[in-house]
A and B are shown apart, each in its own frame.
Chain A
Amino acid sequence: MAVDDDGIAGAKSSLSLVTNLTVAILVILWLIPTIGLLVSSFRDRDAISQSGWWKAPFPTQQNFAVRTEGEFMPEGDGWVLTGNLFGPEGSGSIAAFGGLRSDPTAFAPGETGELVRGRTLTVEENGDYIYFDPADEAPTRNPTVYLASSVPPDFSLDNYDTILTSAGMDVAFINTLTVTIPATIIPILIAAFAAYALAWMDFPSRGAIIALVVGLLVVPLQLALVPMLKFHNAIGIGQSFYGIWFAHTGFGLPLAIYLLRNYMVGLPRDIIESAKVDGATDFQVFTRIVLPLSFPALASFAIFQFLWTWNDLLVAKVFLPSNSESWVMTVKIADDLLGSRGGDWGILAAAAFISIAVPLLVFFTMQRYLVRGLLAGSVK
Chain B
Amino acid sequence: MSPLIQGLLTILIGVGGCVGYFWASNVVLDKVVFPAKGPNIGRNINRANAVRPWLFMLPALAALGLYLVYPVFGSFWRSLFNRSGADFIGLGNYSLLMQDGEFRTALFNNFLWVLVVPALSTFLGLLVAQLTDKLRWGNIAKSLIFMPMAISFVGASLIWKFVYAVDPEIGIINAMRDAMGFAPLDPLQVGFWNNFFLMVILVWIQTGFAMVILSAALRGIPDETVEAAIIDGASPAQIFFRIKIPQIMGTIVVVWTTITILVLKVFDIVYTMTGGNFGTQILPSYMMEYMFRDDGRATAVAFVIMIIVLPVMVWNIVQARREVR
Known contacts A16-B134, A374-B213; is-contact A33 B64 (Cβ 8 Å)? no
- Does B305 reach chain A (CB closer than 8 Å)? yes
On whether the beta carbons of B7 and A181 are closer than 8 Å, the reply is: yes
Assess the B287–A378 pair: CB atoms within 8 A: no
Chain B residue contacts of A286, Cβ below 8 A: 56
Does B153 lie at the interface of the complex (its beta carbon under 8 Å from any beta carbon of A)? yes
Residue in B50, B148, B251, B306 whose CB lies within 8 Å of A223: B306
Knowing A182-B11, A356-B155 are in contact, say whether A378-B230 is a contact too (CB < 8 A). Answer: no
Contacting residues of chain B (49-76) with chain A, CB-CB under 8 angstroms: 49-50, 52-54, 56-57, 59-61, 63-64, 66-72, 74-75
Neighbour of A313 across the interface among B14, B144, B154, CB < 8 A: B154
Q: Which residues of A contact B145 (CB under 8 A)?
A: 26-27, 30
A211 interface residue per 8 A CB criterion: yes
B68 touches A251 (CB 8 A): yes
Nearest CB of chain A from residue B287's CB, rounded to whole Å: 6
A264 at interface, CB cutoff 8 A: no
Flag whether B245 is at the interface (Cβ < 8 A).
no
A194 close to B236 (CB less than 8 A): no
Cα A254 to Cα B65 in complex, Å, equals 11
Question: Closest chain A residue to B18 by CB distance?
Answer: A189
Min CB distance B216 to A, Å, is 5
B197 at the binding interface (Cβ < 8 Å): no
A233-254 CB contacts (< 8 Å) to partner B: 241-242, 245-247, 249-251, 253-254
Q: Which of A1, A36, A174, A310 contacts B159 (CB 8 A)?
A: A36
Interface residues of B in 68-126 (CB under 8 A from A): 68-72, 74-75, 78, 124
Complex CA distance for A2 and B229, rounded to whole angstroms: 14
Q: Using Cβ atoms and an 8 Å threshold, which residues of chain B touch A355?
A: 152, 154-155
Which residues of chain A from 325 to 380 have a CB within 8 Å of any chain B CB? 326, 330, 333-334, 338, 345, 348-349, 351-352, 355-356, 359-360, 362-364, 367, 370-371, 374-375, 378-380
Q: Which residues of B contact A23 (CB under 8 A)?
A: 128, 131-132, 135, 138, 141
For the complex, give the distance between the alpha carbons of A333 and B162 in Å: 14
List B residues 3-57 near A (Cβ within 8 Å): 3-4, 6-8, 10-11, 14-15, 18-19, 22-23, 26, 30, 49-50, 52-54, 56-57
Note all chain B residues with C-beta closer than 8 A to A375.
212-213, 216
Of the candidate stretches A86-94, A138-146, A201-209, the one touching chain B is A201-209
Q: How far is the CA of A373 from the CA of B67 in the complex (A)?
A: 23
Contact B158 A348, beta carbon cutoff 8 Å? yes
Is B147 a contact partner of A215 (Cβ separation < 8 A)? no
Contact B141 A27 (CB under 8 A): yes
Cross-chain contact B151 with A52 (CB below 8 angstroms): no
Q: Hey, which chain A residues are within 8 Å of B180, CB to CB?
A: none
Residue contact B216 to A333, C-beta cutoff 8 Å: no
State which of B155, B158, B312 has its C-beta within 8 Å of the C-beta of A311: B155
Could you tell me the distance between the alpha carbons of A54 and B132 in the complex, rounded to whole angstroms? 28
For the complex, give the distance between the alpha carbons of A247 and B70 in Å. 13
- Cα(A181)–Cα(B67), bound, Å: 20
Q: Known contacts A207-B324, A241-B7, A318-B291: does B272 contact A334 (CB below 8 Å)? A: yes
A257: chain B residues within 8 A (beta carbon): 60
Q: Which of B4, B18, B212, B298 contacts A374 (CB 8 A)?
A: B212
A40 to B312, CA, bound (A): 42
Kindly identify, within residues 269 to 325 of chain B, every residue whose CB is under 8 Å from any CB belonging to chain A: 271-272, 284, 287-288, 291, 295, 298-299, 301-303, 305-306, 309, 312-314, 316-317, 319-321, 323-325
A224 beta carbon closer than 8 Å to chain B: yes
B70 in contact with A227 (CB, 8 Å): yes
Please tell me if the beta carbons of B170 and A345 are within 8 angstroms of each other in the complex: yes
Q: Is the CB of A215 within 8 A of B150?
A: no
Whether A197 sits at the interface, judged by CB under 8 Å, is yes
Tell me whether B155 and A215 are in contact (CB under 8 A).
Answer: no
Cβ–Cβ contact B15 & A189, under 8 A: yes
**10 CB < 8 A contacts A-B:** A3-B223, A186-B14, A211-B320, A218-B312, A223-B306, A226-B291, A227-B78, A246-B67, A250-B66, A351-B158
Query: Which residues on A are within 8 Å of B, measured CB to CB?
Result: 1-8, 11, 15-16, 19-20, 22-24, 26-27, 30-34, 36-37, 40, 48-54, 174-175, 177-179, 181-182, 185-186, 189-191, 193-194, 196-198, 201, 203, 206-207, 209-228, 231, 241-242, 245-247, 249-251, 253-254, 257, 281-283, 286, 307, 310-314, 317-318, 326, 330, 333-334, 338, 345, 348-349, 351-352, 355-356, 359-360, 362-364, 367, 370-371, 374-375, 378-380
Chain B positions near chain A (C-beta within 8 angstroms): 3-4, 6-8, 10-11, 14-15, 18-19, 22-23, 26, 30, 49-50, 52-54, 56-57, 59-61, 63-64, 66-72, 74-75, 78, 124, 127-128, 131-132, 134-135, 138, 141, 143-155, 157-160, 162-163, 165, 167-170, 172, 175, 204, 207, 209, 212-213, 216-217, 220, 223, 226-227, 230, 235-236, 239, 250-251, 254-255, 258, 261, 264-265, 267-268, 271-272, 284, 287-288, 291, 295, 298-299, 301-303, 305-306, 309, 312-314, 316-317, 319-321, 323-325
**Known pairs A6-B236, A257-B60. 12 more at Cβ < 8 A?**
A30-B148, A33-B160, A54-B172, A177-B4, A212-B64, A226-B298, A250-B66, A253-B60, A312-B152, A338-B158, A355-B154, A370-B149
